[in-house]
Each structure stands twice: as structure tokens, then as C-alpha cells.
A = this chain, B = another copy of it.
Amino acid sequence: MPYFDAASSLPLHPVARQALLAALDEGWADPARLHREGRRARLLLDAAREAAAEAVGCRPDELSFTSSGTRALHIGIAGALAGRRRVGRRLVVSAVEHSAVLHAARAHEADGGVVEEVPVDRTGRVGVDGFGAALRGDTALACLQSANHEVGTEQPVAEVAELCAEAGVPLLVDAAQSLGWGPVAGGWSLLAAGAHKWGGPGGVGLLAVRKGVRFAPPSPADERESGRSPGFADLPAIVAAAASLRAVRAEAADEAARLRALVDRIRARVPELVPDVEVVGDPVRRLPHVVTFSCLYVDGEALLHALDRAGFSVSSGSSCTSDTLTPSHVLRAMGVLSEGNIRVSLPPGTTEEDVDAFLAVLPDAVRRVRAHLDAPAVPPRSGSGPEPVRAAEPAAGPAPEEDAEAPSLTVDSLGKRCPIPVIELAKVIDRVPVGGTVVLLADDEAARLDVPAWCEMRGHEYLGADGHTHRVRRRA
């Protein structure tokens, strides 16, 4: 039963399991104690730290183990901001960072700090120039992920690190998604990651802070892990995490090449097999194992369950699959379709047969969800193959205000959830003449993203939204 949600969490690597079992007998005592059992535990901890530091590319005394990648980010951001408080209180982050970074940024704002989000392009990649422009004299810290967790796009970390070094701003890299594939290139100052992404156990993260980086560990004080991670850790899990990181690194080059080809296959085949799909993320500068696409007129949760029933575990950034009923902030920042969103992330060992089996069940799963939603028929293809979606031409005609005489029609989708508002819009667009306007009333958060995305896919003109009122002009 293929599990295609590797970017969320991986099963324990066999080497991690072995290391965990071996460490259970010697790794339960407090490594801070002076007695025999404490010293044995300390030896295990030191060895794990050395192994992890070597894989990260830092000194062992620069690396602290934390209780998760999220905690490593929270501690790293708070500690670096506090350490440079005299410089200023500005925090620069990309708009597509992991929610752990953005939540830490919100906490910084609530505490009186200033946060600047650097936008990304349609592939999810941050602009180097844009990032550099955000660095100012009062910037205390900059954060950039090594690669995006939802769409797989690699970020220009080395280039951004150079700009940060020139500006004297420390750069914290969230390496959660990439550390298993290799060390992060470039002159980062802090680095965070979590072990369950590379086949280690949950409950283990790491935070590296380069010597010379000003860092004030967040309160309360604690004597463990250089004061950076309070509490009695799960040492066997740390040992397993370090062992697993070494093991996946040994396999990384071969496995990356293999999975990259499988992802290329999915990227090429999905738009051929499923009409009205947008494959998102950078097709080349990306993680080897992640591919994400969105399906027009599809309820992401329904598709996820359909795939689950067919034996495939994937994840989704659609609003209907989130607790807050808002689409993924990553898709929002990219400005791409969020409805029917599916992320496929292949674990090491995925076979071509697994992928082909997925490609075999996907079209029917999408078709059934669309039929259940009574989605509009798909327009005939004009070309032979799928074309990348292009941004709509800027409206050349008169401004909407001046077009008040054109025929208009209002659709009330208030209270309806994604993808219903877009489906209702699609069903009526032909009832106004070309140049006419459909006014869509929709209070679902996803509409803000999906109505413009639909307009781009269908070649209509999005005239903008005022509150819950979206205006769309029909084009030929």
C-alpha cells in the first residue's frame, strides 16, 4: 500500500530502528549525572552529536538536539532575535516558510517586533533581489527554507546567504525537507530540522547555531543542550535520529536520481491523464521526491479520501483539508489554484510500479469527485498536450466602472465551500455575453485564490474582489 506522504513523516529507517533498540539499554540515564549510567548515556549523546554535526556540516558544540524541528525553529528564531535585539526587531521571512516559522513570526509581532514577508514567484521561489532588498540596518534575523515543504521548490539559499553576510544579518535555514538529501550549501548562521523527515523518530529535532552568532536562549533557563532545549530528552531516539541521518545520506545520491525520474513521470503524465490540472512548483530546481498539483472543480478532501480508499496516502493544501478552512499559505503566496490540491511525496524505495498504480487510479478518482459535485463539463482541448497555465493578459478594455452598461449576472455562493463557488461560477459564465460580467458572492476563503486562478485557466478576466463580491468578465 504505497504511502506517498514522505514530506510529512517517514517510517523509521531500519538503521534507526536498530540504533534505537541498541540504545534502549544504555541510553535511559541522565547524561548530566556523574555515575556510570550517566557517563554511558553521555557517551551515546556525544557520539550522536558528532554524527549529526558532521552530516549538518558544523561543529558538535554548535549543535543542540531539540524535541522537534518545530521547536528547533521556535527556539532558533526567538534566540537569534533576542541575541540581536539591540540591532533591531525586524524579522525577514519568505512568504512560503513552514507554519512553525510563520507562527514564530506572529509571536514576534505580538511582542512588538516587525515582520517582513518576502514574496515568491509562481513556482514558489523567493527572489534573491527581493530578499536582499528586505535586509535593512535594523534586521535582526532572516529566515529561508532550503526547499518548500508543499511544492518542493528549492530556494536560493546560497545566494541569499551571501546577501545576508554582506548585510551582517544572520540567516536561519529551515532545512527540514532537504537535510536527508544533503548538507545545506552556503554560509548559513542557524539551521533547523526534524528527524522524522529523514526516517528518524518523532520527537527529535536539531538546531545548529554557528559560533559567533549572537544568541540568547529563550527563557526559562535550563542547563541541557547549551541552554537551548530544556528538559530530559529521549536519548535512544536521538541516537536513532543521528544514525538514520547517516544512513539516508549514504543512499541519498542514488535515491534522489531514482525518485527525481519518478516525479518527472508524475509531472508529465498527470496533466495528460486528468483534464484541468495545474502542476505547481519549480519543475527542475526542486526536491527529488515532491510533486504537487491542483484539480479544478475538485474537493481536496474528497479526492484525498478517494485516493486513500484506493490505497494511496497523500496530503493536500486545499482549504477543506485544513482546520481553519483556509487554503495553504504556500499556494496562496504562489497565486495558484488551491482546490483539489494534492501533494505526492515519495518515500525512499518507491517503485515505478507504485507510481504507475497511482497514475492508473488518479483519473477515475478525480472524475468521480467531479461527478459527485456535478462539476461542469471540461471544454475540449485546443492543442495536443498540456500547456503551462499562463497569466491572463492585463485587461485592455475599459475599467470595470466604465462598463456598467454591460450585461451582468449575480451568483450567490455565500456559505458554500470550495470548490462549489468556482463550480457555480463556471456554470453561469456562458449565460452572459462576451464582455459581460458575473458577480460572484462567495465568503469561502479559497475563492480569493481559486476564482482568479480559474479565470486564468479559462481565459476570463478577473476584475477583483470587494469583500465577498468577486467580479469576473467573460472573455471569448
Contacts and interface: CB of A to CB of B under 8 A. Distances in A.
Given A201-B234, A203-B67, A304-B35, A5 B29 contact: yes
Interface of A: 1, 3, 5, 8-12, 17, 20-21, 24-25, 28-30, 33-38, 67-71, 74, 100, 103-104, 106-107, 110-111, 194, 196, 201-205, 219-223, 230-237, 301, 304-305, 308, 313-315, 321, 323
A8 B36 contact: no
Contact of A106 (B37, B221, B315): B221
A202 B28 contact: yes
Nearest to A103: B220
A9 B30 CA distance: 6
B74 A230 contact: yes
Given A219-B110, A220-B74, A304 B34 contact: yes
Given A36-B308, A230-B71, A234-B237, A221 B5 contact: no
Given A67-B71, A203-B232, A24 B9 contact: no
Contact of A68 (B21, B232, B237): B232
B35 A9 contact: no
A250 to B, nearest CB: 21
A223 B47 CA distance: 33
Q: Which 3 pairs across A and B sit closest by C-beta, in order of nearness?
A: A203-B234, A68-B231, A67-B67
B221 A107 contact: yes
A196 B106 contact: no
Contact of A5 (B12, B24, B35, B313): B35
A107 B29 CA distance: 28
B232 A196 contact: yes
Contacts of A36: 1, 308, 313
Contact of A69 (B3, B100, B232, B314): B232
Contacts of A221: 103, 106-107
Contacts of A100: 220, 222, 230-231
A37 to B, nearest CB: 6
25 contacts: A1-B36, A3-B29, A3-B37, A5-B29, A5-B37, A5-B38, A9-B28, A9-B232, A11-B25, A12-B24, A12-B28, A34-B308, A34-B321, A35-B308, A35-B313, A35-B315, A38-B313, A68-B230, A68-B233, A70-B222, A74-B220, A107-B221, A194-B232, A202-B235, A203-B234
A234 B234 contact: yes
Contact of A67 (B3, B20, B231): B231
Max chain B C-beta neighbours (<10 A), residue from A111, A221, A304, A314: A221
A125 B323 CA distance: 47
A195 B301 CA distance: 37
A129 to B, nearest CB: 29
Contacts of A70: 222, 230-232
A68 B71 CA distance: 13
A205 B220 contact: no
Given A34-B304, A107-B220, 6 more contacts: A8-B33, A36-B308, A67-B67, A67-B68, A67-B71, A69-B232
Contact of A237 (B9, B33, B223, B237): B237
Nearest to A101: B220
B8 A29 contact: yes
Nearest to A78: B220
A21 B21 CA distance: 9
B203 A237 contact: yes
A197 to B, nearest CB: 9
